[in-house]
Amino acid sequence: MPRYLSLVQIDEATAPADGPSPELMQRMGELIEEITKAGVMLQTEGLTPSAQGKRVHYAGGELSVTDGPFTEAKEVVGGYAIMQCKDMAEAVEWTKRFLKAHEDFWTVTCEVRQIAEG
Which pLDDT does position 79 carry in this prediction? 94
Can you give the residue range of the structural domain that contains 27?
3-114
**Global confidence as pTM:** 0.87
Per-residue pLDDT tens digits for 55-109: 999 999 999 999 988 766 677 899 999 999 999 999 999 999 999 999 999 999 9
CATH number at residue 22: 3.30.70.1060
**For residue 13, pLDDT beyond 90:** no
Helix (H, G, I), strand (E, B) or coil at 67: strand
* Cβ 31 vs Cβ 50: under 8 Å: no
Spatial distance between the Cα atoms of 20 and 94, rounded to a whole number of angstroms: 20
Which pLDDT does position 118 carry in this prediction? 79
Query: What's the domain count of the chain?
Result: 1
Which pLDDT does position 12 carry in this prediction? 83
Strands 108-114 and 3-11: antiparallel
Which residue has better confidence, 21 or 17? 21
How many other β-carbons are positioned within 10 Å of the β-carbon of residue 23?
10
